Amino acid sequence: MQIADLTLKELIDIKSEINSFIELEFNMLDELEKNSLRFVLKKVVFLKYLIRQLGGDFRFQALTSDIMYLISSIKKGETRYYYFNLRSIIEQALRIINNIDSTDTITNSSIMEKTQELLDINKVVINLDVIKNEYSTSCLYVHGNENANMELAEFYQNCIEHNNQIENLSQKLKVLVKLLKELFDLILISQNSIVDAAYHRRKSILKFLVGDQSYLKFEQFKME
């Protein structure tokens, strides 16, 4: 009973931390946008438990930082840095999913193939096209293609000056939620034992952070 009480307090504190952050930094968003951002922040908290469990695994730390930098780029209206961090999120997540060390060199096509093999072997249904499409979109922005035909003044404004809010935020958040759901479902499956250990006696917290459907996938995979 004491353990349950401690877990309940921990869960209340997590909810409070997420909501306080949103009200402090993103109070200007509408409720749907705030809910999308809550989804993203839950994944940051989810990773914090894995980092505590694993210690110094750079990949989990880098993935956490990339998500926070992406949130910062939303606040600053930095479209190019948004996609730069989005691409890095995908790369780091896929390294974790496929157990590839942070120092190993691997092409995007190779890591996508390895991910597909993982899905086939474990008979897991994941929308890999969402990941591939967002990676391709991110590469276009990171490589600067959108700046190629700009006049100098427009180029300067695009690179230096920041809007208060990034363009098409609602759509970006909607796609980001879809992307992170697929990536983190894969992390739940591929790192099942690590997640299980990190959330020992904290399954109610895990369920809150990943959502009911993803938690069900985690439990089903654990039983197989």
Residue 80 half-sphere exposure toward CB, CA atoms < 13 A: 14
**CA 78 – CA 178 distance, rounded (Å):** 21
Q: Is the pLDDT of residue 202 over 90?
A: yes
Band the pLDDT of 125: cuts 50, 70, 90. Answer: confident
Whole-model pTM?
0.87
Of 211 and 79, the one with more pLDDT: 211
- Mean pLDDT, the chain, as a whole number? 86
Crossing angle of the two packed helices 79-97 and 58-76, in degrees rounded to 10: 160
Domain boundaries along the sequence of the chain? 2-223
pLDDT at 81 over 70: yes
pLDDT of residue 148: 47
Give SS3 for 134.
helix
Task: Output b/e per residue, 185-205; b: 16+ Cβ within 10 A.
Answer: bbbbbbbbebbbebbeebeeb
Measured from the Cβ of residue 61, the count of other Cβ atoms closer than 10 Å reads: 17
